[in-house]
Structure 1
Amino acid sequence: MTADYKQMNGIALAYMGDAIYEVFVREHLLDKGMVKPTHLHHTATRYVSAKAHAALYALMEADDILSEEEQNYFRRGRNAKSHTGAKNTDVVTYRTSTGIEALFGYLYLSRQEDRLNFLANWCIEQVEAGRTLNNAK
């Protein structure tokens, strides 16, 4: 990888992180035996929507699972100035979602595969357990 993640802005990190987390979710859904595209898409939104990301971040804070460096990269994404607006959600939720995506981008680009796998699977487990439903706005 030639890109230096340490120099990237939060939006660039989020761009990568969005794709990375989406792959984890898609693989999980296929592993569960889902094959119909419409069902896959609708189910995936439980994991990858801005509201789901915001709920997952609230759980990350409650469970105190992020390191200080991970929190810094989350904030880099959350505080980044985006030129696109939030769709179907409020600005705070959208920015929190961008922070989660930036965190995943950071973990991927810094080659922290074990931590990336742990955190992605932890997120999927929280959605599966219904914990995000109680925290979604």
Structure 2
Amino acid sequence: MSDWIRGHPHSPGSSDLGVLQLAWLGDAVWELHQRLRHCRQPGRSDDLHRAVVAEVRADAQAIALQRLEPWLEDEEKALVRRGRNRAGRGPRSADAATYGQATGFETMVGWLFLHNPDRLAQLLDQLESTGQPSKQRFETP
């Protein structure tokens, strides 16, 4: 399902993006990935929308990150830390730890999308093989 990412060329000039810009981009990439996953399912658009929203919420992103942690390389872990440290408090609907983990996940996804789309596709494939994030529970460290 992540084959669309593998064809994405390296983006010149992307190295000067800040952490929050990478997180913003990563959020969009993650949402597009979820939309592509769900668009193959039958159903009304509002049902598909609700399914995607469940996957792009901060708690689902934090769970996705938690499931990927054993496979992350040191550089990817550093990106997650940078994003988590820049996250701020977040919305009232998410606690600060969950929001920080989600921002770290988005930062890593954004950076990988620009710099190493094959690696991003590998990680997304790993998530596919282990189930959907919204069906699990985030464990606060």
TM-score grouping bracket, smaller chain normalisation: 0.7 to 0.9
> C-alpha distance in 2, partners of 1:88/1:127?
24
In structure 1, the partner of 2:86 is 80
Question: In the alignment, is residue 54 of structure 1 matched against residue 87 of structure 2?
Answer: no
Equivalent residue for 1:68, pick from 64, 74, 79: 74
The 5 A counterparts of 1:1-137 are 1-5=11-15, 7-31=16-40, 33-61=41-69, 64-82=70-88, 85-110=90-115, 112-128=116-132, 132-135=135-138
- Tell me, which stretches of 5 or more residues in structure 2 are unaligned? 1-10
- Tell me, which stretches of 5 or more residues in structure 1 are unaligned? none
TM-score normalised by L of structure 1 = 0.81
Residue 56 (structure 1) shift: 1.7
Indicate conservation of the 8 Å contact 2:67/2:127, yes or no. Answer: no
TM-score normalised by L of structure 2 = 0.79
Q: CA RMSD in A?
A: 2.3
Q: Percent identity of the aligned residues?
A: 28
Residue 131 (structure 1) shift: 8.3
Would you say how many aligned residue pairs link Structure 1 and Structure 2? 130
